[in-house]
A and B are shown apart, each in its own frame.
Chain A
Amino acid sequence: MTVAELQAALSLEVLVEGDMTREVSGGYCGDLLSWVMGRARSGDAWITVMGNVNAIAVCVLADTACLILSDASPLDDAARARAQAEEIPVLRSDKNTYTLAVELSRLLPS
């Protein structure tokens, strides 16, 4: 499933388009950046409330497929600019991390 398909299926708001053709192979939830960087896998959709520039750096370095902000969390201006420059898709939902993870899990092949 691509990021674009995921965005449509979960009705996510698109904050930064980035590379929406990227394949999503799994998911990871967490707000502690080093924790995520050490454990998230390449191609994961990362669900978090962290919308700062360092979160985008984690996406780039850990090679996640996209960033999904849960609980309608804000994306700050520096993060938006960095995500655009790095072509990282940033999506957002009013739903909380748990609910999004459950819905993502239903979409991904087990």
Chain B
Amino acid sequence: MSIQLHYVVPGDDFTRAGEASGAVKTTLKQLGFRPDVIRRVAIAMYEGEINMVIHAGGGEADVEILPDCVTILLTDHGPGIPDVEQAMQEGFSTAPENVRNLGFGAGMGLPNIKKYTDTLDIETEIGVGTRMRMTVRVTEG
């Protein structure tokens, strides 16, 4: 069994951010995945979605669901991440003031993704965009 899902994440629309991760959460629930696995996938994907909305003018999400693994590929054509290591640090944020007023910009997005996924690969190029591939494995538990 393999299920492929594709979503377009609109840019600069914070009311719609979270639709894709919410839909994936619903799908995983229907497929009978464990609640802790669903929670990890949903949080990591939502953080990725929000990053694309804040920084990249939106992007695309491709999700592959296998019985033992969920893979999320996020692709955007935004400005790229100048220093990935710095961006991975808790509390580091370049989110603008209007975004912070909504409660975002805590500098926890990428750290949360790392925390809740088993693998995280970031390919980024300045002025071209960012591809982020993350996987959550279903382990015994």
A54 close to B (CB within 8 Å): yes
B56 close to A (CB within 8 Å): no
- Contact between A54 and B14 (Cβ–Cβ < 8 Å)? yes
Interface residues of B, count at CB 8 A: 27
Give residues 105-132 of B contacting A (CB, 8 Å): 105-109, 111-112, 115-116
Would you give the shortest CB distance from A52 to chain B, in whole angstroms?
6
Write the residues of chain B forming the contact surface with A, with a CB cutoff of 8 angstroms: 14-15, 17-18, 21-22, 25, 35-36, 39, 42-43, 46-47, 50, 102-109, 111-112, 115-116
Q: Which of A34, A35, A42, A61 contacts B18 (CB 8 A)?
A: A61
* Contact of A34 with B112 at beta-carbon distance under 8 Å, contacts A54-B103, A54-B104, A61-B42 already known: yes
Which 8 interchain pairs have the tightest Cβ spacing?
A: A34-B108, A32-B106, A57-B18, A61-B42, A33-B103, A38-B112, A34-B106, A35-B106
A75 close to B (CB within 8 Å): no
- Contact between A57 and B17 (Cβ–Cβ < 8 Å)? yes
By a CB distance below 8 angstroms, the chain A residues around B42 are: 60-61
Write the residues of chain A forming the contact surface with B, with a CB cutoff of 8 angstroms: 31-35, 37-38, 42, 50, 52-55, 57-58, 60-63, 78
- Contact between B43 and A38 (Cβ–Cβ < 8 Å)? yes
By a CB distance below 8 angstroms, the chain A residues around B112 are: 34, 37-38
* Contact of A50 with B103 at beta-carbon distance under 8 Å, contacts A37-B43, A63-B39 already known: yes
Complexed CA–CA distance, A81 and B61 (Å): 25
By a CB distance below 8 angstroms, the chain B residues around A33 are: 102-104, 106
